[in-house]
Amino acid sequence: MVNPAGPPARPFDDDPLFGDAVPAPGPKPGGIAARALGHGRQPVYLEGLNPEQRRAVETVEGPVLVLAGAGTGKTRVLTTRIAHIIASGLAQPYQILAVTFTNKAAREMKHRIAALIGGSAEGMNWLGTFHAIGTRILRRHAELAGLRSDFTILDTDDQLRLMKQIIQAENLDEKRWPARQLAQLIDGWKNRGLTPDKVPAGDGAGFANGRGQALYALYQARLKMLNATDFGDLLVEPIRIFRQHPDVLADYQRRFRYMLVDEYQDTNTAQYLWLRLLAQNNTNICCVGDDDQSIYGWRGAEVDNILRFERDFPGAVVIRLERNYRSTAPILAAASHLIAHNEGRLGKTLFTEARDPEAAPVTVASAWDSTEEARSIGDEIESLQRKGESLDQIAILMRASFQMREFEDRFVTLGLPYRVVGGPRFYERAEIRDALAYFRATVQPADDLAFERIVNTPRRGLGDATLQICHDFARARQMPLMAAAAHLVETDELKPKARTTLRALLQAFAHWRSLLDDKPHHEVAEIILDESGYTEMWKQDRSADAPGRLENLKELIRSMQDFESLAGFLEHIALVTDTENEAGQEAVTLMTLHAAKGLEFNTVFLPGWEEGLFPHQRALDEGGRSGLEEERRLAYVGLTRARRRAYVWFASNRRVHGLWQTTVPSRFLDELPEAHVEVRESGGAGGYGGYGASRFDRSDSFGSSYSTPGWERARERTREAGAGGRAGGRPLSGPAQRLRGGATIEGELVAKSVVENPSAFTKGGRVFHQKFGNGTVAAIDGNKLTVDFDKAGRKKVLDSFLERL
């Protein structure tokens, strides 16, 4: 749910479609219009829009596709368009359907609309993510999907456990047919909007000897029994309802006078079908997107949806937004030139009116290995910092998250504050999920998965044996686990000890449930965690992260207070997997390219442009040409995040699955326009395009400066650590701010020394290299050696490539 103030405690609120036809509270259209219309001239909200943007805002009737290139004011158009529709009295806020992919985007839209039309976006009940809106629809017509309206939404973890149970129940070898794989298969079907009966014959024949489809059906049946859905169902079930109940569909079609879709290039087939159904009789649909920024094909997004728009919606008006307000001319030129290598795009040419003679070209630089890459980028960031650039305006965007580690290590050493975006989420942590399972089982006694998760957490002697008996009993009688347990404690099927414990647990749940009637839910939540012994369990835990976990639990209770009820809170977190990242201190941002979409920074570093990593080998292997094109779009997204400076890096050596490998610079480098790119080459030799081994022969590639502020800081820190107690403490203003994003760096503040075995090689010693032959060691720097090869001359090589002679 997007709006924490409106949890589903009252799922059918102020909705004329199903209740009384009372218009949403709030200002009448005339009132808003009067305010927004300035003084009889054009409405204030239209001021400052360029002609294309204005056209996209004002063309409200009929299908419209807005192709919005990076940084062309997409969100502005979307929000202004909604404001315009409301202010002109064309529709009430609740008659507008506006869908986004992420909660963040929905939130931002809400804010911006409110700012535009003055007052609030109150009444925009249908602005939200596909999933939030799908949930809303499904709760209303739950009975048509074989559910009760208080159904639970399972997360991936629950899903997986459920599938595992099904695989076991079917006597399949879980090793041979892992639940993960089944989950992927079913996910794929759901992405395509396929219910078990619609799965094409032979689809997924590779799984469990063609039983995939049957397992899917079993899984769905099991979900219904648990009164639960998974994420996919939030789309697939409404589609099914729309198809099977034309009257229901017609109601929604009547209701949604205007429809808007954000990030259309990311829609999957199910989302597309959902939209098509709703737009059948009323084609006031406006999709905004950028085919060049489609980077989620791997999870079912169909770029084709956007490419096909004009065919799907005859008479569609296509509006291109190509005027970029974000980046300098060289950055745009580089990004445009790169993306032009893709075929099958709708084609846009970004331009800017900014004519900054100082604008820096895109820089391409190289490092010997990933460690040096991190070191050099760290140095560069410090130098920018000295010039007054805010760390908040600097980001390192990488292809894969494993690349982050090297940067983290380096920044910890430098004492450079950084922030990791993404990574393990708050609500996915074990302690949070355990706590939530307690709450779920309290609110929803039929939630078997929740109950199962915590019956024996903390350990109370209710192990597999007891649970198995409960399961058998429950299955035989088709009842939830807790109900089965309630029966069993009255019999002597369980061992006396287990029986007593189980009875006490069931009584505790009943007690907590009753407390909900007369105490605020967050207090009850705290009582649950205390009385169940869960808090105590972590207090007893001596491991390093136990205090953090307790802190997280406190945070969980705190955040519950913003909600009306426990059920409302649970719904919120089922749909929202992230909490706001508080800004905190200035820090460099580290994230994946995928996570960077929609963001912008003054300075962007793009490390790891090497074949195999970027474009990623697996994307090439599995996706072929289209895989490569998606990778290229990812590169395009990366470059276009930069406002003023973009630095592209590649390393000649990188550890892949534990082994050092020599890498080849990414083909994307060759696709950058020479005129707007500067190859940083201290050696001087070799022009653009020549990334041969020769470039690494320059002698200054290792020992960089040892007088940088970071190095000084690091040295001080080492001294402090040595003097004052344990070195594991968190630096006061230092890095390690993985805000909620993941584990705080416990442990070493100083990067591990690269010197593992300094005695293995000696200066002047004779060595052998596979490629360069025999040579004499001239210098040693950690695990990097300078060797004078008899035939190949002086080279810098990693010790792992050498053999002592």
Partner DNA sequence: GGATCTTTACTTTTT
Partner DNA sequence: GTAAAGATCC
Q: Which residues contact DNA (rule: CB under 7 A)?
A: 101-104, 129-132, 155-156, 174-175, 178, 231, 298-299, 399-402, 422, 425, 456, 459, 461, 463, 575-578, 591-592, 594-595, 616, 618-619, 622-623, 655, 657-658
Classify strands 317-321 and 64-68 as parallel, antiparallel or unpaired.
parallel
Cα torsion 480, 481, 483, 485 to 10°: value is: 160
Annotated catalytic residue 75? yes
* Residue 88 structure tokens: 């002109």
| Of residues 473, 487, 486, 401, the one with CA closest to residue 441 | 486
Closer Cβ to DNA, 573 or 780, answer by number: 573
CA distances from residue 558 to 233, 525, 526 in whole angstroms, order as listed: 31, 10, 10
Give strand pairing partners of 610.
Answer: 665
- Alpha carbon distance 127, 619 (integer Å): 34
Closer Cβ to DNA, 447 or 631, answer by number: 631
CA distances from residue 501 to 443, 486, 532, 778 in whole angstroms, order as listed: 21, 12, 12, 72
- Is the Cβ–Cβ distance between 605 and 397 less than 8 Å? yes
Q: How far is the CB of 230 from DNA (least distance, A)?
A: 9
Helices 74-87 & 29-36, crossing angle to 10 degrees? 120
- Alpha carbon distance 652, 683 (integer Å): 16
- Alpha carbon distance 680, 677 (integer Å): 9
Annotated catalytic residue 293? yes
Annotated catalytic residue 181? no
Q: How far is the CB of 453 from DNA (least distance, A)?
A: 13
Q: How far is the CB of 423 from DNA (least distance, A)?
A: 8
Q: How far is the CB of 401 from DNA (least distance, A)?
A: 3
Closer Cβ to DNA, 511 or 618, answer by number: 618
- Alpha carbon distance 550, 218 (integer Å): 38
- Alpha carbon distance 772, 782 (integer Å): 20
- Alpha carbon distance 479, 103 (integer Å): 35
Closer Cβ to DNA, 135 or 640, answer by number: 135
Catalytic residue among 159, 293, 363, 393: 293
Catalytic residue among 140, 320, 597, 641: 641
- Is the Cβ–Cβ distance between 57 and 81 less than 8 Å? yes
Q: How far is the CB of 733 from DNA (least distance, A)?
A: 26
Closer Cβ to DNA, 18 or 298, answer by number: 298
How many Cβ atoms are within 10 Å of 530's Cβ, its own excluded? 11
Catalytic residue among 122, 237, 262, 526: 262
Burial pattern 301-337, b for ≥16 Cβ within 10 A else e, equals: bbbbbbeebeebbeebbebbbbbbebbbbbbbbbbbb
Classify strands 588-592 and 394-398 as parallel, antiparallel or unpaired.
parallel
Closer Cβ to DNA, 472 or 580, answer by number: 580
Closer Cβ to DNA, 423 or 520, answer by number: 423
Annotated catalytic residue 263? yes
Helices 233-244 & 130-140, crossing angle to 10 degrees? 50
Q: How far is the CB of 84 from DNA (least distance, A)?
A: 26
Instruction: Give the angle subtended at the CA of 315 by the CAs of 313 and 316, to the nearest 5°.
Output: 60
Closer Cβ to DNA, 300 or 775, answer by number: 300
DSSP state of 367: E
Rg of the chain's alpha carbons, rounded to an integer?
29
Q: How many residues does the chain have?
A: 805
Closer Cβ to DNA, 261 or 679, answer by number: 261
Annotated catalytic residue 28? no
Give strand pairing partners of 655.
Answer: 660
Annotated catalytic residue 74? yes
- Is the Cβ–Cβ distance between 93 and 86 less than 8 Å? yes
Closer Cβ to DNA, 8 or 710, answer by number: 8
Q: How far is the CB of 793 from DNA (least distance, A)?
A: 29
Q: How far is the CB of 620 from DNA (least distance, A)?
A: 9
Q: What is the DSSP track for 212-270? A: HHHHHHHHHHHHHHTTEE-TTHHHHHHHHHHHH-HHHHHHHHHH-SEEEESSGGG-BHH
Residue spans of alpha helices (H) in 489-616: 496-518, 521-531, 534-540, 546-560, 566-575, 593-596
Is 791 buried (19+), middle (13-18) or exposed (0-12) by CB count in 10 A? exposed
Catalytic residue among 53, 72, 74, 110: 74
- Could you tell me how many helices (H) and strands (E) the chain has, helices first? 29, 21
Catalytic residue among 75, 181, 457, 744: 75
Closer Cβ to DNA, 164 or 519, answer by number: 164
Cα distance between the two ends of the chain: 67
Q: How far is the CB of 489 from DNA (least distance, A)?
A: 18
Catalytic residues: 74-75, 262-263, 293, 641
